[in-house]
Amino acid sequence: MIGLILILLIILLKKTDKLQTIVSSYIVFIGILLVSVLFFIIPNQLEEIVKRQQLANFIHSTNPKVEINNKTVGSYPDIYYIIFDRYARADILKKYFNFDNLPHISYLKNQGFSVNESAYANYPTTYLSLASSLNMQHLTWLEKLMGESYKNRWIVYAELLNKNFVAVALKNMGYKYYFFGSSWEGTEQSDIADKNFNAFENIDQFSTYIYENTALNAFFGMVANKQSFMGVTNLVKNVENEALKRDSIPQVAAIPGPKFVFAHFLTPHPPNVVDQNCNTVAFETLRKQTEEKNYTNELQCANLIMKELAEKIAKKSKRPYVIIFQSDEGPYLPKRYFDDQSMPNPMTDTSLEIHSKILLAIKTSDGSIKAPKTPVNIFPLVFNNYFGSSIKTKNDRSYIAPNHDRPYDFMDVTSQVKN
């Protein structure tokens, strides 16, 4: 836009003796504008670099000390850590959604899963929930290290999710790391994975957004009915990506050698666009149903995926295995208990228990591990049981940041959600 203005000025004033003065003034204006922008950008970038290095140093100094006393690689299990985003605990579904999920819980138990029916999240928000479990530690130290008012979440994605301690430790033991990502930037891909699976991998969402708002896109909509809408495109791609995971995880199970599989399913995270059988539902039908109904329909799709994966992994595995089905957080539904989609607000005991009580189920091929109450203790149990480690388990605590703009200003809400 600025360049266009400059061209127009040159055309209009090319025969005037004021041109040089105007152009010089314009250049000065652009220079001032550029300096002003850099004045705000550079300090933020420098702060991010410093904070990220501080975070990396702190993680390095506080990571659990893992001694691998079992050197028999043949006894190492394949580990499947499979997240179903915002999947509510069975008692929450019954109490607030009038939905009976106990048949599915019974199915899991009959298949050999240990299900902790009192489980709750350590940090009921995705990036902190996964950062805590995948690094086997509580994260309250972020409050002091980052600062209560620091807003940047990306450095936590980069240091605690992308390069999480569990994956690094397992790779050092000879594991292959298979990463099944989502459209959310925190689990879009892993730089340390041996292979990434994601239908969004080659999608440039920024370029797609720019194109969506061009006249060319509108033109194609008028003449060829091919106008693109980013929201619709993402919904279709999400369904495709969930199917990719369902198909590919069992294929990975047949690959020789120890493997660590991480998969982030956005099912049943809204927007809920599939039915109980994971088939896409027409928008008109979705609009006629309540958000709660659409949510429980998609939750049943998640149940179907769990059944498929549990059976296919067990069938295809040629070595011991650990399957973990877990939700990172509960839903922000029913709507009457929540003001928005960024936190349990108002901060009532009801909103906290709905959003914090989660699914946590573990199956081992030898039945040796019982599901803990909170995710932070999943991998200490796995490492101690299979690798002869002696990692201390953590207290079962739950923390939330009441203010969305202060993501590291934690409040302990264990007393409200532990039952």
Average pLDDT over residues 409-414: 95
Region 102-120 average pLDDT: 98
Q: What is the mean pLDDT of residues 114-136?
A: 97
Do residues 327 and 87 touch, judged by C-beta distance below 8 A?
Answer: yes
pLDDT at 205: 52
Tokens of 120: 């709750």
Tokens 């690798």 locate to 387
Q: pTM for this structure?
A: 0.85
Round to whole Å and give the CA distance between 327 and 121: 8
Banded pLDDT at 218 (limits 50, 70, 90): very low
Strand locations in 159-252, DSSP E? 176-180, 195-197
Structure confidence at residue 360 (pLDDT):
98
Across 396-414, average pLDDT: 93
What average pLDDT score do residues 163-187 get?
96
Q: What CA–CA distance (Å, rounded) separates 382 from 324? A: 11
Look at residue 58 in the predicted model and tell me its pLDDT: 81
Tokens read off for 75 = 């006894």
Domains of the chain: which residue ranges? 1-61, 78-417
Mean pLDDT of the region 94-118: 98
| Mean pLDDT of the region 379-392 | 96
pLDDT-derived band at 227, boundaries 50, 70, 90: very low
Rounded Cα gap, residues 312 and 306, in angstroms: 10
Structure tokens at 405: 């703009």
What share of the chain has pLDDT > 90, as a percent? Answer: 67
Residue 214 near residue 220, CB atoms below 8 Å:
no
- For residues 218 and 67, the model is more confident at 67
Q: What is the mean pLDDT of residues 280-289?
A: 94
Q: Is the model's pLDDT at 74 over the cut of 80? A: yes
In tens, the pLDDT along 24-52 reads 665 756 656 555 555 455 656 666 777 87
Model confidence at 228, pLDDT cuts 50, 70, 90, reads very low
Q: What mean pLDDT comes out for the span 293-302?
A: 98
Per-residue tokens: 245: 């995971």
Distances (CA, A) of 340 to 81, 123, 347: 29, 18, 12
> Is-contact 334 96, C-beta < 8 A?
yes
Q: What average pLDDT score do residues 191-220 get?
A: 66
Rounded Cα distance, 119 and 347, in Å:
20
Q: What are the tens digits of pLDDT across the range 298-345?
A: 999 999 999 999 999 999 999 999 999 999 999 999 999 998 766 677
Give the DSSP letter of residue 85. Answer: T
Share of the chain above pLDDT 70, in %: 80
**Looking at the predicted structure, is the pLDDT value of residue 17 above 90?**
no
Two tokens at 149? 């008012």
Confidence grade of residue 63 (pLDDT, cut at 50, 70, 90)? confident
d(CA 392, CA 374) in angstroms, rounded, equals 14
Tokens of 58: 């702190």
Give the chain's mean pLDDT: 86
Q: What is the pLDDT of residue 230?
A: 44
Rounded to whole angstroms, how far apart are CA atoms 129 and 358?
A: 11
Region of poorest pLDDT, from 65-74, 278-287, 375-384, 386-395: 65-74
- Look at the domain 78-417 and name its fold: Alkaline Phosphatase, subunit A (3.40.720)
CA distance 293 to 291: 5
How high is the pLDDT of residue 5?
53
Q: pLDDT band at residue 377, thresholds of 50, 70 and 90?
A: very high
